[in-house]
């Protein structure tokens, strides 16, 4: 009884379950009084001005010491960020990792800052911390010290003045055109288009003052005023690179799959629609009691499931997401790796 009070069994009674409990296995025990929380290093700079043209570059490398639990199982860490004064009541998880460093891009930090309510072009103050856990979900978290960071974000409007026009598009040759959206790379734009058999071109400002096609031979190069580009019916991701004057058209759909969806685990999946203003994919769907996941192109090559953290996704063997019968708006942001489910 004294040993039970002094030590926590990871295999049986404790939330630190590192192995199954049976008569033939040794029980791993830990002394919580010896645990050591991770400690954040001071940043090299505590004031950052974020620029959209640097979106793909590393804004900051967060570093911390390893948490100590007295076990060989490596801890998992969450890097949490909140607005100053928020007390981490609704923090944003900017990354989950088993490493003791995290490289965060300008785009990732900017998106987080905007989501937390910072205004574009105005300096605001954020606070960040690291939480470690080990073993099964629910294990005792160890919380680091809190550091502060002053950030000046930029607007997150992804709209551009470029679009897709043509007989294969919903509005044909008259437009308005299917919009292109900004990416992390300047002058590289992406559109998500449902097309029919027909032809397309790319043009600026819904006008013919500047347009691109592809002259013979069709080689994926943008030719100013070039020939119409033939396409087959389907859902596509269309990328134009105005730096190198090239383009790419590839089949592309995100969908919901699972026994909670109308077509079960075999599909076809419930298709999600892209919202460029939110940089998110969503649909309204009637579900059954069951589970679902997100996957790309009705295949398992790329899929997202749930994690121990609510509303956070992972593409590394993520868990099926449980849901009750009902009609919902399901939204996912695959850049932020987050999702939401709202009853309708």
pLDDT band at 18; cut points 50, 70, 90: very low
Residue 14 lies inside a defined structural domain of this protein: no
CA 298 to mean position of chain CA atoms: 19
Residues 55 and 77 in one domain: yes
Residues 202 and 143 in one domain: no
Residue 19, pLDDT > 80, answer no
Residue 243 lies inside a defined structural domain of this protein: yes
Structure tokens at 52: 């959209």
Structure tokens at 134: 């080990």
Domain span at 84: 32-152
Residues 93 and 62 in one domain: yes
SS3 89: coil
Listed in sequence order, the DSSP H helices in the chain are: 2-6, 106-115
Residue 268, pLDDT > 70, answer yes
Residues 75 and 144 in one domain: yes
Segment 34-51 mean pLDDT: 91
Segment 190-215 mean pLDDT: 98
Residue 28, pLDDT > 70, answer no
pLDDT band at 5; cut points 50, 70, 90: very low
* The predicted structure's pLDDT at residue 21: 43
- Residue pair 200/231 in contact by the 8 Å Cβ criterion: yes
Segment 95-119 mean pLDDT: 93
Residue 190, pLDDT > 70, answer yes
Residue 26 lies inside a defined structural domain of this protein: no
Residues 221 and 207 in one domain: yes
Residue 77 lies inside a defined structural domain of this protein: yes
Mean pLDDT computed over every residue of the chain: 89
Residue 16, pLDDT > 50, answer no
Last residue of one domain, picked from the residues 152, 176, 206: 152
Residues 216 and 316 in one domain: no
Q: Own/partner pairs for 262-265, CB < 8 Å, 24+ apart?
A: 262/286
CATH of the domain at 269: 2.60.40.3620
Residues 239 and 272 in one domain: no
Domain count for the chain: 3
- Residue pair 242/180 in contact by the 8 Å Cβ criterion: no
Pairing of strands 198-204, 229-231: antiparallel
Residue 7, pLDDT > 60, answer no
CA 43 to mean position of chain CA atoms: 25
């Amino acid at each position: 009884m004294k040993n039970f009070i002094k030590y926590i069994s990871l295999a049986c009674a404790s939330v630190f379950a590192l192995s199954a409990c049976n008569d033939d296995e040794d029980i791993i025990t830990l002394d919580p009084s010896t645990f050591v929380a991770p400690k954040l290093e001071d940043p090299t700079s505590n004031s950052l001005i974020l620029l959209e043209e640097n979106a793909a570059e590393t804004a900051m490398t967060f570093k911390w010491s390893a948490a100590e639990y007295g076990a060989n199982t490596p801890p998992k860490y969450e890097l949490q960020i909140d607005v100053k004064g928020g007390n981490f009541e609704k923090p944003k998880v900017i990354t989950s990792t088993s490493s003791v460093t995290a490289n965060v891009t300008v785009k990732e930090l900017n998106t987080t800052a905007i989501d937390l309510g910072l205004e574009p072009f105005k300096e605001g103050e954020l606070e960040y911390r690291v939480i470690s856990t080990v073993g099964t979900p629910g294990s005792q978290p160890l919380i680091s010290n809190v550091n502060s960071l002053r950030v000046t974000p930029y607007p997150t409007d992804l709209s551009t003045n470029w679009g897709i026009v043509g007989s294969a598009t919903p509005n044909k040759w008259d437009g308005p055109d299917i919009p292109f959206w900004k990416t992390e790379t300047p002058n590289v734009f992406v559109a998500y288009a449902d097309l029919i058999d027909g032809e397309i071109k790319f043009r600026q400002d819904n006008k013919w003052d500047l347009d691109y096609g592809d002259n013979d031979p069709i080689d994926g190069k943008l030719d100013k005023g070039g020939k119409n580009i033939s396409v087959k019916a389907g859902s596509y991701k269309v990328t134009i690179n105005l730096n190198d004057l090239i383009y790419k058209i590839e089949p592309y759909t995100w969908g919901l799959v699972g026994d909670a969806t109308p077509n079960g685990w075999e599909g076809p999946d419930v298709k999600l629609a892209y919202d460029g203003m939110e940089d998110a994919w969503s649909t309204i769907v009637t579900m059954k009691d069951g589970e679902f996941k997100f996957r790309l192109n009705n295949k398992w090559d790329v899929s997202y499931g749930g994690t121990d953290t609510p509303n956070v996704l992972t593409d590394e063997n993520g868990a099926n997401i449980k849901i009750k019968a009902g009609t919902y708006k399901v939204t996912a942001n695959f850049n932020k790796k987050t999702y939401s489910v709202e009853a309708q």
